Copies of this chain bind each other. A is one copy, B any other.
Amino acid sequence: MIAHTISLSLGESSYPIYVGQQIFSDLTLLLRHIHGKQVFVVTQEKLVPYIALLQAALASYQCDFFYLPDGEQFKTLAQWQKILETLIQNNHERSTTLIAFGGGVVGDITGFAAACYQRGVNYLQIPTTLIAQVDAAIGGKTAVNHPSGKNRIGAFHQPQCVIVDIDLLKTLPEREYVAGLAEVIKYGLIYDTHFFNWLEENRAALLARNTKALLHAVHTSAHIKSQIVSQDERDQDLRNVLNFGHTFGHALEVLGNYQRWLHGEAVAMGMMLATRLSGDLGLLSRQDVTRIVNCLHAYGFASPSVLPPATDILKAMQHDKKVRDGKINFILLTAIGRAEKIATVTKVQLQAVLESDS
């Protein structure tokens, strides 16, 4: 049952985001968006229980599968190249359709392969993790990582549609589920006060994966992301606010070799740091700083007291894409529900936040 259809408006590249339950198994939805005779599914071994369904649905197509190993450390040029080689070996033509069936890593690398195979082919997103459903699968940012930084090589390439089925989240491991909630909380913080209030109040239901609560959280998040992306596809301006917590977060992921923390965990710590920085700079009241940090703790996110040395984090941040002419642009909060890009943050201020104990 499709509960909501969000339209991501981008002129010729506009596409629908279907949000609901039992819609992955509604195969007509899938088939409506495949136009050629070939399909190429990028997925993961752990999703095998669901894959038989896909295989049955796609029986009338030439359908090839590529299994990506699990983990951010496989979002590499080497794996991307293997996908391209497999497409070539199986004679996939320009009219083929790629399907990203998995988490954010699968979505990002599949999208980037679709962007570059024969100068661009169609692809669909069927995200299977919370973080991919509310963030990665929406907006056409595709990429692979480089040892020096996340998403340093990639392209903008919009999918034909995104199918968000919250039933797929039932089997998601607890740690991954909670990590995904970091991005959900982010949308409240940067864009929607009421949603943040709702997230504070409905924490228990959401952590218990209550269907109604989950549907509301996923739909609201996907809707906010779509609103922002449709106003700034290429990340020139407004879309920057989506990076709240990510400048610190990316640096932590690099230092943890993409293995120590899940993306959402790193972003949650990054949001705590960015919130404290917002307070230090007088942009956000001390009361709101405390309220936000408490909310993140209540959802189970750790304090950044386990951080690597401040000098290491500062160095890792130098490689971030958000650096322009040597200055780091920071997304900071001016209220709960409102984020802004601040270009005047000094190294001393950064160091103070990284070294504070609170």
Contacts and interface: CB of A to CB of B under 8 A. Distances in A.
B143 A119 contact: yes
Contact of A153 (B116, B149, B153): B116
Given A81-B77, A146-B88, A141 B155 contact: no
Interface string A116-143: 1111100000000000000000000111
A318 B93 CA distance: 10
Contacts of A151: 119
A16 interface: no
Given A81-B77, A88-B148, A321 B153 contact: no
B324 A95 contact: yes
A149 B77 CA distance: 20
A84 B146 CA distance: 10
Contact of A324 (B84, B93, B149, B235): B93
A154 interface: yes
A154 B4 CA distance: 35
B94 A324 contact: yes
Question: In the complex this chain forms, how many copies of it are found?
Answer: 2
A156 interface: yes
A152 interface: yes
Contacts of A112: 116
Contact of A325 (B88, B93, B155): B93
Nearest to A38: B325
A234 to B, nearest CB: 8
Contacts of A235: 119
B156 A120 contact: yes
20 contacts: A84-B152, A84-B153, A88-B148, A91-B318, A91-B319, A93-B321, A93-B325, A94-B324, A95-B324, A95-B325, A115-B155, A116-B116, A116-B153, A117-B152, A118-B153, A118-B154, A119-B151, A119-B155, A119-B156, A119-B321
What 3 pairs between A and B have smallest CB-CB spacing? A119-B154, A118-B321, A88-B148
